[in-house]
Chain A
Amino acid sequence: MPTFRDAEQARAILGAVAERARFGEAARGLREAELVVAFVYHDPELTVLMDGRTPAPDGAYMRVAFDTLEPAPDVVFESSGEVGNRFWQGRLDVPMALARGQVKARGPINRALKLLPILPGLYETYREVVREMGAGELLEP
């Protein structure tokens, strides 16, 4: 299965996705739930912190930071970068991935899983960004 070339590529792609999504429906869901969610990836090593609790100065619904766990996340999802890439393009059955151990979760994940139905827009944004960055090999057919 395809995966990120390195942490820099993962960070560039997810940074661009977050930038476009900060005012979107998924971010608003995160804000309404007042959740801070961290995605901890291995191979490549990268932490993505999506903060819906701390107000953003420009009125965006969420703030995004890399390689930090401040403010302390409510929920942490940990997986390989390969599984992360699958998730962001909407190709991962999250409950099944949790059961199989492909994703390890800590915290009240029921609150985070409630956001799953509003994520498809984000998946599309991810696909757009990946294509624009010339990294189409990351996308599954």
Chain B
Amino acid sequence: MSRVRAAVLEEAGRRLQVEELELEPPGPGEVMVRLAAAGVCHSDLHVIEGDLPVPLPAVLGHEGAGVVEAVGEGVTRVRPGDHVVLSWIPGCGRCYYCRIGRPELCDEAARLQVAGTLPGGALRLRRPGGAPVHHFLEVSCFAEATVVPERGVIPVRPDVPLDRAALVGCAVTTGWGAVVHTAGVRPGSSVAVVGTGGVGLNVVQAAALSGAWPVIAVDRVPAKLELARQFGATHTVDASRTSDVIGAVVDLTEGRGADYAFEVVGRPETIASAYGMARKGGTVVVVGVAAPHLEVGINAFSLPSQSKVLTGSWYGRSVPEVDIPHILDLYMAGRLKLDELISRRYRLEEANEAFDALRAGEVARGVLLLGG
């Protein structure tokens, strides 16, 4: 049994509380990871604000990296000392979706997201006295250490700084995969990206790497648009200065609309905007995670008459075991930016300040440094 400090959400609407918890050793097929860094993501914020119902109390955090400390019985993927990035969709490998090559849609992972446990119902986090604390997305990386399923650890090269590697656990892979896997953006295609936070910037840079032109970034925060230019945006639309972002994108794409439009905010109005700014026959990819009760209105006649492809992208339709090491290779080769994504670094005790900054739109990505 280890003692670890962790940021616990007791109930929705409350602030996170850093407490000392007991972490049980890894069971069969499980891995204990000493965490170095965790990214602060909007999906955690959805849970804090009550828009994403999960079992509480829980240790949040799903974008993390660290070093393997111990492995449970039967684990062969990693051994102590290995550097790993955590995957928040550890595909079971057995369900229909895993078998057809869509592990991001894994039935078991989806069930465990709602259950707040590890496979088999295991709970490895407890308060002194024994009261269990739930896991979040089988990761729970707002802690000094965590226990995760073997399938949730992705071994990575040891020369990558772990605070940068952590970001590839969610934001980078989600944005990258939306472009590369979901949309399959081809060189010369026009791309519009609505929302240039941590994930949106990675849509922008993956589109630029794919040879897209123009790459149009749309956001309400001028500083984020400036960052989007650094990440490869060729044009920007400041949504705080125009009430017709659709028209602005249409004007920048020879009056047609974009070949590919990505929504990376998670709001009904921005999803409708992304749909509107795609050209006839174009592709609309919804990456942003909206609260589960929201609905979107789009013009019904346009569905057949404009024949757009409207799809979602969950975790970038990625295969984390393949994509995460690949993305880190690109970073180490100087082809992909990660350093510039980190706006601020925080201690675990400053987790609430990190979320305040995220809520205020002040950061691309905040990272908690966890000491591992």
Contact = CB atoms under 8 A, between A and B. Distances in A.
Contacts of A42: 243
Given A1-B248, A1-B251, A100 B243 contact: no
Given A81-B243, A82-B243, A100 B257 contact: yes
Nearest to A98: B299
Contacts of A82: 242-244, 247
Given A1-B247, A82-B247, A100 B242 contact: no
A94 to B, nearest CB: 12
Contacts of B251: 1
A86 B247 contact: yes
Chain B interface, DSSP helix/strand/loop, else mixed: helix
A125 interface: no
A43 B242 CA distance: 9
B243 A99 contact: no
Q: Which of B246, B248, B272, B275 has the most CB of A within 10 A?
A: B246
Interface string B256-289: 0100000000000000110111000000000000
B123 to A, nearest CB: 46
B242 A101 contact: no
A108 to B, nearest CB: 14
Contacts of A1: 242, 244, 247-248, 251
Interface in A3-34: 3
Interface of B: 242-244, 246-248, 250-251, 257, 272-273, 275-277, 297-299, 301-302, 305-306
Interface of A: 1, 3, 42-43, 80-83, 86, 98-102
Which 7 residue pairs are nearest across A and B when measured between Cβ atoms? A80-B243, A100-B276, A99-B302, A101-B276, A43-B243, A82-B244, A82-B243
14 contacts: A1-B244, A1-B251, A3-B242, A42-B243, A80-B244, A82-B247, A99-B302, A100-B246, A100-B275, A100-B302, A101-B273, A101-B299, A102-B244, A102-B247
